[in-house]
């Protein structure tokens, strides 16, 4: 069983610093969208909430000609435009921005890294130079180059347990485009660093409700005892997006929804929902269980892909009253493209707990609205007591974990309608984060950056997790081969996907649960 006394070890950020280790965060790609939209706003809010180390620096590294002051001004505009508060406290900004610096350099220029090393060494606090977080907010094709240059400049070395100082490398998805490229990318990353120094980000794992899945499962006996094939009929995981590919058409032509969403976000959620309890809530123990779960997923043969996987592509339609173009009409998209913008898959987990229980996963673009949910459908009760009652609306119990937006948990059960007749209808019990705690939900990047500085890898993805997930995706793509999309695999923008996705569940007498729209 899980040692629940350690549950707070993953969330001990409410009071003071998690670890007060002075450090420097170097952001490669400091002129990019990720930096201005997510990273600097997250670091600013960590600072204003008292979560940053007492001594820290943030150094932006990019090619464009800028000064410290001009970069700080850009970052302030980004906080005012993109952060969760959309405002800046003048006094706190002055204190925070004094820790922001800009270093101009080309990622392929060794001299730029040498200059960076000199600049980092010019610190009044020695630990700021020794403790380094390198955030690679650049194309994955450049990861190997950056790591090589850092090692050559003496900024990155393999971290041993007895070393006084540490260096960590944080990287964004995509972690390759298939198993082979993921293995190559991972080999580049660990060429000059140990696996425990590599922090692979999937921002979904930083969301409060995703983190709460383990707490919900393992600290509530009424649910943990039901969390198996004996009580659960099937599980649905939906991650819908109400946007199209927009300006990302070129990227999407290479990736598609299977690579872009299923390989990481949905399989990560699945692993947390279905994994076995770890012996303790330590990073490696949790990640061991996630990998074991992914390896237990039944292999997707070409025959299984044909039967259990649905892909789709949107054509012109209306989303939230707005006319949308079809995928093939989007910028930088092939007019005859067969790239999928929707995927639904039926998976089986071949272990003792989940034998025979189908897991349905779906994700797509230009759906009616954005929502992420886990729907646990329990087995129906025998109907012998109510068989003679024709007017009863008896439905199986269901549990819904709403991941975003409006983070909440809902339980559906049957209740009797007041009156003299035996009339029933489904009723719901709701738990909402905002209503219960009356506090903000931190942005995912706030939590992930804090954990990277603290060296806690629980919410990051290990090499074998990445590669196991890619094997599943590669098997599906191999099953598709070069077969073009058929007519029943297209769907209008603003609908819940192709008819084939409904047929996937109808074969088992199931229906997709439609997530509730945002409040």
Q: Just list the catalytic residues.
A: 265
d(CA 478, CA 472): 10
Which strands, in side-by-side order, build the sheet including 232-240?
424-432, 408-416, 398-404, 371-378, 232-240, 358-364, 342-348, 309-315, 490-492
The count of other CB atoms within 10 Å of the CB of residue 491 is 23
d(CA 282, CA 292): 16
d(CA 429, CA 420): 24
d(CA 310, CA 498): 8
The count of other CB atoms within 10 Å of the CB of residue 9 is 15
d(CA 22, CA 130): 9
d(CA 289, CA 280): 11
d(CA 262, CA 88): 36
Q: Nearest CA to 51 among 61, 63, 39, 43?
A: 43
Q: Nearest CA to 465 among 313, 265, 320?
A: 265
Cβ distance 378 to 396 under 8 Å?
Answer: yes
Q: Nearest CA to 473 among 327, 361, 366?
A: 361
What the block records as the tokens of 250 is: 């070129």
Which one-letter DSSP state was computed for residue 266? I
Residues in contact with 452: Cβ distance below 8 Å, sequence separation at least 6, in sequence order:
133, 135, 168, 170, 199, 460
Element (H, E) at 262: none
What the block records as the tokens of 83 is: 């952060």
DSSP letters for 11-45: STTSSS-S----EEEEEESTTSHHIIIIIHHHHHH
Question: Quick one: residue 86, left, alpha or beta (phi over 0 = left, psi -120 to 50 = alpha)?
Answer: left
């Amino acid at each position: 069983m899980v040692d629940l006394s350690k549950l707070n070890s993953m969330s001990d950020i409410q009071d003071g610093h998690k670890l007060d280790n002075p450090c420097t965060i170097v952001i490669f790609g400091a002129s990019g969208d990720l930096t201005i939209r997510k990273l600097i706003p997250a670091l600013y809010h960590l600072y204003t909430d008292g979560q940053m180390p007492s001594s820290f620096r943030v150094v932006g590294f990019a090619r464009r000609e800028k000064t410290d002051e001009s970069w700080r001004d850009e970052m302030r505009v980004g906080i005012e435009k993109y952060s969760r508060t959309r405002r800046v406290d003048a006094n706190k900004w002055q204190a925070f921005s004094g820790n922001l610096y800009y270093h101009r350099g080309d990622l392929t220029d060794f001299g730029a890294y040498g200059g960076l090393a000199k600049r980092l060494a010019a610190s009044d606090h020695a630990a700021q130079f020794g403790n380094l977080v390198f955030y690679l907010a650049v194309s994955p094709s450049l990861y190997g180059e950056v790591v090589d240059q850092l090692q050559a400049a003496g900024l990155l070395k393999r971290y041993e347990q007895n070393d006084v100082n540490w260096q960590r490398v944080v990287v964004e998805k995509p972690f390759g485009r298939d198993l082979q490229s993921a293995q190559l990318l991972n080999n580049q990353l660990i060429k000059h660093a140990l696996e425990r120094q590599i922090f692979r980000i999937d921002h979904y794992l930083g969301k409060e409700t995703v983190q709460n899945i383990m707490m919900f499962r393992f600290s509530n006996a009424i649910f943990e005892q039901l969390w198996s094939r004996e009580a659960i009929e099937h599980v649905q995981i939906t991650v819908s997006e109400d946007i199209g590919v927009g300006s990302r058409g070129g990227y999407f032509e290479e990736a598609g929804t299977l690579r872009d969403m299923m390989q990481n976000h949905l399989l990560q959620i699945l692993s947390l929902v279905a994994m076995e309890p770890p012996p303790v809530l330590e990073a490696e123990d949790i990640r061991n269980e996630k990998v074991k779960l992914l390896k237990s997923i039944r292999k997707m043969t070409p025959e299984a892909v044909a039967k259990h996987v649905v892909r789709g592509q949107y054509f012109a339609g209306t989303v939230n009253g707005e006319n949308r173009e079809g995928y093939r009409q989007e910028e930088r998209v092939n007019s005859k493209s067969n790239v999928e913008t929707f995927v639904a898959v039926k998976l089986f987990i071949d272990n003792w707990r989940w034998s025979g229980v189908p897991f349905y996963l779906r994700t797509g673009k230009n759906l009616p609205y954005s929502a992420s949910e886990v729907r646990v459908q329990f087995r129906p009760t025998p109907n012998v007591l109510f068989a003679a009652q024709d007017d009863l609306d008896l439905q199986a119990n269901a549990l819904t974990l709403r991941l975003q937006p409006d983070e909440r948990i809902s339980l559906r059960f049957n209740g009797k309608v007041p009156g003299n007749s035996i009339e029933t209808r489904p009723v719901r019990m709701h738990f909402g984060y905002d209503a219960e705690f009356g506090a903000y939900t931190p942005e995912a990047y706030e939590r992930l950056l804090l954990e990277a500085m603290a060296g806690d890898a629980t919410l990051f993805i290990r090499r074998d997790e990445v590669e196991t997930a890619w094997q599943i995706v590669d098997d599906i793509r191999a099953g598709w081969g070069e077969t073009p999309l058929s007519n029943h695999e297209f769907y209008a923008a603003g609908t819940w996907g192709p008819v084939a996705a409904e047929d996937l569940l109808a074969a088992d007498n199931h229906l997709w649960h439609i997530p509730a729209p945002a409040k």
